[in-house]
Each structure stands twice: as C-alpha cells, then as structure tokens.
Amino acid sequence: MNAQQYRVAAVLSRVSPVSSPWAKMPSQAGPRWHRQPKHLLSVRTMPLDTQRLDKFLSQQLSLNQHDVRLLLARNLVQVDGQVVSQRALRINRFSRIEVEGTVLQANIPYYYMLNKPDGVVSATVDAQHPTALDLLTVPHKAELHIAGRLDLHSTGLLLFTNDSRWSEALAHPNNKIAKHYRVGVAKPLDEGYVQAFAEGMHFPFEDVVTQPAKLQIVSEYQADVWLKEGKYHQIKRMFGRFRNPVTALHRLSIGEIVLDAELAPGQSRALTQDEVNSVRRIG
C-alpha cells in the first residue's frame, strides 16, 4: 500500500470505522466526535447563514482540506440524501449532512402558529406574566423564538420558529409582508380615518412618516387595518391622532398565513408546508 492509499485509509477509518472496508487498516486516532453514537453526532452549531460544504466538513471532522477533497472524490458525502462532490456547495443549518452513513447534522426546522390570548406576554421568559411559549406543548419549544410579537393585551396570530432566516424574511422591509389586524376603538369611526391611514402619519419621536396603511371600516367601532411595517405601538399611536383609544387589537394574518379559525385562544398548531413556503426567504 503506497503513501496515498494509506492516507485515504486513515481518513475513511476515522469517518466510519464500523462500515468502511478500510476500517481494519492502520489509522490515526480519531477525533472526539468519533466517540459519539454513530447514528447522530453531537457537533458544533452551524451559523444561521450558509457556508461551504468543505469548510463544514473540515470543522466538524477536524480534517485538512486535502482529506476533505478525498472524502468528496470518493462519493462518501451526502447532502439531503444526494451524493455530492462539489467542495463549494452552499449548505445551511437545516441541510442534512452524512458521511458514509454517519449523520453529522440533522437539524429540523419547526414552524407553529398560536392564537394568543389576552394577558400573555410575547416572550420566552417573564417573571410576572405567563408567556406565549408556556402555551406551546411541543417537546422542542426551547429551540423556538417568536416571529412578530404582540403586546400584552393584544390577541391573535403569533408565529414561532427555530429558523431565523425565515423569521428575518417575515420582518424584512423588502418583502413588504402585510399584517392584518381587527381593531376595536372607543369612539365612532368615519372616512377621515381611511384617508389619514392611506396618506401616512408623521411620528415626531422617530421623525419618520409611516408607510401608507389600508383601513377598512367594519362597524361603527371596529376597523380592519393592514400594515407593512411595525413601528412601536403603531396602530395605537395612529388612532391616537384622532384621540380615539384602541380597546381591542387582534391579529388575523401575516402575509398569506391566516389564523386558523379552529384554534381557541391559547391553542396552537404546526404550519402547513404551503404556509411556510409563502414566506419568501432572504437571499
């Protein structure tokens, strides 16, 4: 066996000593990840953005670039179930990465909607009030974060995910994703509200003018409002220009994701794949 064959044997035996036909050949001591259970390894957390496949393999397996190229050349690497050989392939934290049957990464993205009740904080931890996360009954809720918060006394659609790129896309101004609210107010409404919301309002504290918003009068004391931005207490402040206090604020939808009418306050469900795909990802 020449020097190159010996080097390949060492790399392969370190990657999968049980199944590799090279496993009985002399090899270097395997790195620490090698001592983990073969079906799922404990590896470093991938950055939220994408990175090159060869860099990921080098970091997770403690291999130099030459050894990584050998793995790829021998078709021992799979990404999302497909054999790959491209070193520069871009992967993300939810790409499933396997090397000769050994799973290096198998993170699963989760997406949920909750019908948030009044008096629940849009937070993961709070010392005074129950949190929206407390209402979820899924086993992996510690991984989740809230995508688009609601105030303590606001109700309706609240989204959770562990996919930061997805939640960033929800909030990204270029995506112009509209949020639909049903608003109750203390004083009667008239057409002047419709025009004022459509023209935008100047907020002196931030010295900005709000983007045009759509307001549709539902009844004398109720209106539907669609916003494509989310400034601090924006709806309450816009109605405040008319000295008309908001008495109820209920979110009905975010983009194409509509609050499930079957969910009672406090109940939740996973998003459908169509609902997940309706949010255009950044990049």
Pairing state of beta strands 155-161 and 246-254? parallel
Quote the CA–CA distance of 69 and 77 in Å, as a whole number.
10
The helix (run of H) or strand (run of E) holding residue 238 is: helix 234-240
Quote the CA–CA distance of 243 and 227 in Å, as a whole number.
20
Q: What is the 3-state secondary structure (H, E, C) of 143-158?
A: HCEEECCCCCCCEEEE
For residue 219, what are its two tokens? 């009844």
Q: Residue 23 CB: number of other CB atoms within 10 A? A: 15
Quote the CA–CA distance of 109 and 20 in Å, as a whole number.
31
* The residue to which tokens 């990049």 are assigned: 283
Instruction: Report pLDDT for 204.
Output: 85
Quote the CA–CA distance of 258 and 253 in Å, as a whole number.
4
Per-residue pLDDT tens digits for 99-155: 988 999 999 999 999 999 999 999 888 888 999 999 999 988 899 999 989 999 999
* The residue to which tokens 């019908």 are assigned: 115
Q: Residue 129 CB: number of other CB atoms within 10 A? A: 12
Residues 6+ apart with CB under 8 A from 254: 148, 157, 159, 170, 177, 178, 179, 180
Using left for φ > 0, alpha for ψ between -120 and 50, and beta otherwise, residue 80 falls in left
Pairing state of beta strands 214-219 and 222-227? antiparallel
Catalytic residue among 126, 134, 151, 260: 151
The closest of 19, 92, 107 to 52, measured between CA atoms, is: 92
The per-residue pLDDT string of the chain (283 residues; one tens digit each, 9 = 90 and over) reads 444 344 445 555 555 433 333 233 333 333 333 333 333 333 344 445 689 999 999 999 999 999 999 999 999 999 999 999 999 999 988 999 999 889 999 999 999 999 999 999 998 888 889 999 999 999 888 999 999 899 999 999 999 999 988 998 998 888 889 999 999 999 999 999 999 999 999 988 888 899 999 999 999 999 999 999 888 899 999 999 999 999 999 999 999 999 999 999 999 999 999 999 999 655 4
Instruction: Report pLDDT for 45.
Output: 45
Residue 151 is a catalytic residue: yes
Instruction: Report pLDDT for 10.
Output: 53
Q: Residue 184 CB: number of other CB atoms within 10 A? A: 15
Quote the CA–CA distance of 169 and 4 in Å, as a whole number.
47
